[in-house]
Amino acid sequence: MNEQLHKDLITLDQILEKVKVQGLDYLAKLSERPTSASSAILLNETLDEMGLGSMDTLKAFNEKFEKLIVSSSGPRYLGFVIGGTTPASIVGDWLATIYDQNPQAIKGEGDISAHIEMETIKLLLDLFDLPKDFTGGFVTGATMSNFTCLATARQWIGKQHGKDFARDGVSEQIYILSASPHSSVIKSLSMLGIGSNNYIRVKVNSDNRESIDIEDLKLKIKALKGQPFILISSAGTVNTVDFDDFKTISKLKRNHDFWWHIDGTFGAFAACSPKYKHLTSGWETADSITIDCHKWLNVPYESAIFLVKEQYRSIQTETFQNSNAPYLGDPSEDFNYLNFLPENSRRLKALPVWFSLMAYGKKGYRYITENVVAMANHFGHFIETSNAFELMAPIRLNNVCYTLEGEENQDKVFPFLKNINETGKVFMTPTVYNGKKGIRASFVNWRTSKQDVDMVAKVMIKLISNRVV
């Protein structure tokens, strides 16, 4: 055996012990670690001939990169929509690495791991109180989940025209209706050959909303004169976490021929709490749903699920058929994940989720959901009662969209945000909403406490009163 591999193999316990101690140290000090880093690094372009072995490689990593790693998994990283890692999810993630399975469900490699994936999907359906007639699987993120669902929807459109787009290519116009699609939905349209420009924008509701205006939706449906189409709706838009009226959409579905996709990347978590569950009411009749696990479920990257109604299994396997390889088995015989989603070989992404769900149960996730919403409201209260800031939209769930008070301060919004982020105490991201510049604070991390929010408020007040802006 190569000497470095051999040395590592016989000292693996010391190496992993060191990594454990370092990992615990990172997690223990997560709250003090800066939320941003500015130092540039020089990229190494030559590979050592002998290699360093794991112990010295860890040293090299620590010297070059470790100090610059930001606390994006910590309690005051409020940019984008970023989760953290529950203790049990770290356990599952470590084990996923150690067991190194490839969930497929063909007889042989990764056989049982595909069952772990299927069981995890069932547990998630139970968490979200969704019916058992959804099947699903794990992909890297909500972008790939939206892609997977919309690829299946595209095949469904073909079927309505008597065509097989997966085999013969897209030969019909695909009509898409959406009001506030996430950027990753638009990206998926581009990747699917539908074209990112080729969707019909439905109006949003008046009164500062991002949700579908149902009357306009009806008009747009009427204009399609019975052509099949795909409706892309939102359970939680990124700016104001708005939800479409799923009850009414599910009624429309009875009389019109369309594929209904819901991007519930993070808004799906409303269903975990009796307080917010009403927001998702009616979503169970959708054809496909996207949900991220690496955001509000607080498991490590890369983890998201797609859910598609079981009745479309054959359409989905037509779309992702990997059948021209006899060594992978007969696709018509058994269910196999590699005929069901974009990737072939995959990591056992379900395991961190399975561990976290088993460890904390419905009660744990009800707590995480409600705590996060309470923190968003606590921060929102600070914004509302301060005379330097104002909310741009009501707080519907876990995001706070705000700006500097006064039209004359619009040019100062992004410089102010830059100043906030440079403190390293908190990280937020910019937005433009209703034509106005603003700042988004998105709450999803399971650790965020009132003390964290109060510290953020203090940082902001200090910047304002020092006239740093």
Ligand X SMILES: *Cc1c(COP(=O)(O)O)cnc(C)c1O
Question: Which residues of this protein are in contact with ligand X, per CB under 6 A?
Answer: 81, 141-143, 182, 184, 236, 238, 263, 265-266, 292, 304
CB of 304 to ligand X, least distance (A): 5
The Cα–Cα gap between 135 and 122 comes to: 8
Q: Which residues contact 77 (CB under 8 A, 6 or more apart)?
A: 35, 70, 71, 426, 427, 445
Nearer to ligand X, 82 or 338 (CB): 82
In the numeric block, the tokens 């420009």 are attached to: 197
Nearer to ligand X, 182 or 346 (CB): 182
The neighbouring-strand residues paired with 259 are 230
Nearer to ligand X, 142 or 249 (CB): 142
CB of 389 to ligand X, least distance (A): 23
Residue 343: DSSP 8-state? -
Each as own residue / partner, the long-range contacts of residues 282-285 (CB below 8 Å, 24 or more positions apart, any chain) are: 282/245, 282/246, 282/247, 282/248, 282/249, 282/250, 283/130, 283/235, 283/246, 284/130, 284/131, 285/246, 285/250, 285/253, 285/260
Nearer to ligand X, 304 or 375 (CB): 304
CB of 302 to ligand X, least distance (A): 8
Nearer to ligand X, 138 or 165 (CB): 138
CB of 9 to ligand X, least distance (A): 36
The Cα–Cα gap between 242 and 442 comes to: 14
CB of 37 to ligand X, least distance (A): 21
Nearer to ligand X, 110 or 141 (CB): 141
Nearer to ligand X, 242 or 245 (CB): 242
Q: With contact defined as beta carbons under 8 Å apart, do 295 and 266 qualify?
A: yes
The Cα–Cα gap between 414 and 429 comes to: 9
In the numeric block, the tokens 């109604």 are attached to: 309
CB of 435 to ligand X, least distance (A): 21
Q: With contact defined as beta carbons under 8 Å apart, do 254 and 281 qualify?
A: no
Q: With contact defined as beta carbons under 8 Å apart, do 393 and 237 qualify?
A: no
CB of 180 to ligand X, least distance (A): 9
